[in-house]
Chains A and B, each alone.
Chain A
Amino acid sequence: MFDKILPYLLSGISVGGQYALIAVGYTMVYGILRLINFAHGDIFTAAGFFMVYMVTVLPIQIAIPLVVALTVLLGFTVERVAYKPLRSAPRMSVMISAIGVSYLLQNLMWYVTGGLAKQYPTIPWISQSVTIGTATTKVVTLITPVLTVLLVIALVAIIQNTKIGMAMRAVSKDFETAQLMGIKIDSVISTTFIIGSLLAAVGSVLYFSNYASVTPTAGAMPGLKAFVAAVFGGIGSIPGAVIGAFIIGICENIIKALGYTTFSDAFTFALLIVILLFKPTGLFGEKTSEKV
């Protein structure tokens, strides 16, 4: 029994780690702007395509940092162009703008690639196979959780100990008061998007190494799942998002192991609905009260 489950468990942990890297971006943006950044999943996909096109001209050691840099630039630009002009608009307008950006990015990627799935480059070492017990898997499966945890610890350290981290905490507590205290809100928000996109880029390298091909809509589903993970863990809480992502990744793969592959996506959303109904603030979320 365990032998049968083990490969699924391993890929569950690995996928969970990849979701976690995306989910952190969602949860940070939501914590500060109260915005579901629907375009985050497409930024993740775009990182995949950057990689596909980069390795055709550059060696892989240079390509990876460049991909991360480009993704960060994309995230930064999206925020400046599509969200900043709507700072004083109602929340729903910003969300519609996010949906519009997602639509634009998907169409743009479709145009550039001609709508075809692109082969993701094999990255030496992390695409190698290893055998654990009875299960054969790629090295990337083993690296992902370790790398995820390391990155998240680093991020939490930044938020707890640096000046910009303190500013982020202040802004997420109270947007307007933070502004009055002299915090440059725009630079804090930009930093949030930069960190989110950076983690999404790393997540994308790990995720697509596992799946071998990228399509313009490949990131939509992982994006939504990562968002569910963020809600599950309590939106705004970084450790919560990570734990939520691992739980979702593992559950999803166990459901696949049991033979209900059609429902692996549906399960995630069912979990979301259950959480929203019984504990809307998630596992580690702070309780907020409705103001009139």
Chain B
Amino acid sequence: MKPYKKIIASFALLALMFLALYFLEQHFGKRSMLITVLKKGAIYALIAVSMNLLNGFTGLFSLGQAGFMLVGAYTYAVLTIPMARRAAVYQYYDGGIIPFTAPAIVGILAAGLLAALIAALIGLPVLRLKSDYLAIATLGFAEIIRAIIQWDTLGPITNGSNLLKTYPTFKSVIPVFAACALCIGVIVLLIHSTYGRAFKAIRDDEIAAEAMGINLFHHKQMAFVISSFFAGIGGALLAMYQGSLQANAFKSSMTYEILLIVVIGGMGSISGSVIASFLFIACSEWWLRFLDTEMYIGTFKVPLLRSGFRMVVFSAVIMVVVLFFRKGIMGEKEIWDLRRPRRRAGKEAGR
């Protein structure tokens, strides 16, 4: 396919997707399970792809994603709560000290930028560490960020450990998809650029990459900052999806969930992460729900089914994937590569 045809084809696909979303939403209603799952799935897809950029493409095993999401979510919420509501939200801190309200889009961008800035600062010391030490240090920083946000002294800004609410949210699924698709698109372009190749070189062999003239620290820092930028935006979108916000939800278990999504989708595959996110959210929120309620077949009560069983089955399935299907759904391939290998093999044979 010629490049311009490829571009036209992908835009046509995107337009089709949005059209389909529009009709689904009209048909099922904005509060239906399907639409809810699609919204949350899209947000998780963005966050998973941002983590994949770091863990799958650059080979930096970071576990700080929840921390950057937290920064993004709080930045967005703090900046966009309407003035009229501030007194009610910040009831323990005299209405807070932020004297203005930013429009939602500014809030989202600020969320990404602040997360990126903090990542740049954290990256300076942390990115010198290797593999599991890096993992544990980023995990530590995420916990430190959470402690700082819950700190009483910062209460007038962050509302301490109290709930943030009444900030603008979205009703329709279209803007969420638009935002997430745009961000994922940017990450895809980045990965196909020379920077993306440098990231992969670092992942495959750090010493060889350095010998080839790739500035290790510069590129690692870049991957870390960009990944955190998108994690911040993802955090802001997640805050919008939830409607209210508390720092306590952003624990390390959230990072683990996202890491597991990335692993299920395949480390180093963008489309894998996207597919896995939708599957993960659909299974945990919707398809496996029946496991949580008691069920009778005739007079026979099906054993084991009660609240919480869904997550047990779900995590057992994840363990099976982790142990026996280590490459995940896509391995390192992308969904748009799937048709190609045969033709390419033919070409090479013809040479």
| Inter-chain contact B131/A91, CB cutoff 8 Å | yes
The answer to whether the Cβ of B99 comes within 8 Å of any Cβ in the partner chain is no
- Nearest residue in A to B133 (C-beta to C-beta)? A276
- Residues in B with CB closer than 8 Å to A36 are 132, 135-136
| Inter-chain contact A272/B137, CB cutoff 8 Å | yes
| Inter-chain contact A101/B319, CB cutoff 8 Å | yes
Contacting residues of chain B (116-165) with chain A, CB-CB under 8 angstroms: 125-126, 128-129, 131-133, 135-137, 139-141, 143-144, 146-148, 150-152
A103 to B324, CA, bound (A): 17
A281 CB, nearest partner CB in chain B, Å = 11
A-contacting 9-mer, from B233-241, B255-263, B330-338? B255-263
| Inter-chain contact A270/B144, CB cutoff 8 Å | yes
* Given A86-B323, A273-B140, CB of A107 within 8 Å of CB of B314: yes
The answer to whether the Cβ of B326 comes within 8 Å of any Cβ in the partner chain is yes
| Inter-chain contact A107/B140, CB cutoff 8 Å | no
A39 to B119, CA, bound (A): 28
- Residues in B with CB closer than 8 Å to A91 are 131-132
The answer to whether the Cβ of A104 comes within 8 Å of any Cβ in the partner chain is yes
- Residues in A with CB closer than 8 Å to B207 are 292
A92 to B203, CA, bound (A): 13
B96 CB, nearest partner CB in chain A, Å = 19
| Inter-chain contact A107/B323, CB cutoff 8 Å | no
Contacting residues of chain A (197-239) with chain B, CB-CB under 8 angstroms: 217, 220, 224, 227-228, 231
Tally B residues with Cβ within 8 Å of A. 46
Q: In the complex, which range does the number of interface residues on chain A fall in?
A: 35 or more
A-contacting 9-mer, from B27-35, B84-92, B170-178, B303-311? B303-311
The answer to whether the Cβ of B242 comes within 8 Å of any Cβ in the partner chain is no
| Inter-chain contact B315/A100, CB cutoff 8 Å | yes
The answer to whether the Cβ of A97 comes within 8 Å of any Cβ in the partner chain is yes
Return the contact of A273 from the options B141, B146, B311, B319 (Cβ within 8 A): B141
- Residues in A with CB closer than 8 Å to B135 are 36, 95
| Inter-chain contact B259/A266, CB cutoff 8 Å | no
* Given A111-B311, A280-B129, CB of A100 within 8 Å of CB of B137: no
- Nearest residue in B to A98 (C-beta to C-beta)? B322
Contacting residues of chain A (74-119) with chain B, CB-CB under 8 angstroms: 82, 85-86, 89, 91-93, 95-97, 99-104, 106-108, 110-111, 114-115
Return the contact of A217 from the options B141, B253, B259 (Cβ within 8 A): B253
- Residues in B with CB closer than 8 Å to A110 are 308, 311
B200 CB, nearest partner CB in chain A, Å = 16
B234 CB, nearest partner CB in chain A, Å = 20
B93 CB, nearest partner CB in chain A, Å = 15
| Inter-chain contact B147/A104, CB cutoff 8 Å | no
B332 CB, nearest partner CB in chain A, Å = 14
| Inter-chain contact A107/B311, CB cutoff 8 Å | yes
| Inter-chain contact A103/B312, CB cutoff 8 Å | no
- Between A and B, 30 residue pairs with Cβ closer than 8 Å are A36-B132, A82-B319, A85-B323, A95-B132, A96-B259, A97-B319, A97-B323, A99-B260, A100-B260, A100-B322, A103-B253, A103-B257, A104-B316, A104-B318, A106-B253, A107-B311, A111-B308, A111-B309, A114-B306, A115-B308, A220-B251, A227-B136, A228-B136, A231-B133, A262-B147, A262-B150, A262-B152, A268-B140, A273-B126, A273-B137
User: Which 7 A-B residue pairs are closest in the complex by CB-CB distance?
Assistant: A269-B140, A111-B308, A266-B147, A107-B311, A104-B315, A266-B144, A100-B322
- 15 more A-B residue pairs beyond the given contacts A91-B132, A93-B326, with a C-beta to C-beta distance below 8 A: A34-B132, A85-B323, A89-B326, A96-B263, A97-B323, A100-B322, A103-B315, A107-B315, A108-B312, A108-B315, A228-B140, A266-B143, A269-B144, A272-B137, A273-B125
| Residues of chain B having any CB pair with chain A under 8 Å | 61, 125-126, 128-129, 131-133, 135-137, 139-141, 143-144, 146-148, 150-152, 207, 251-253, 256-257, 259-260, 263, 306-309, 311-312, 314-316, 318-319, 322-324, 326
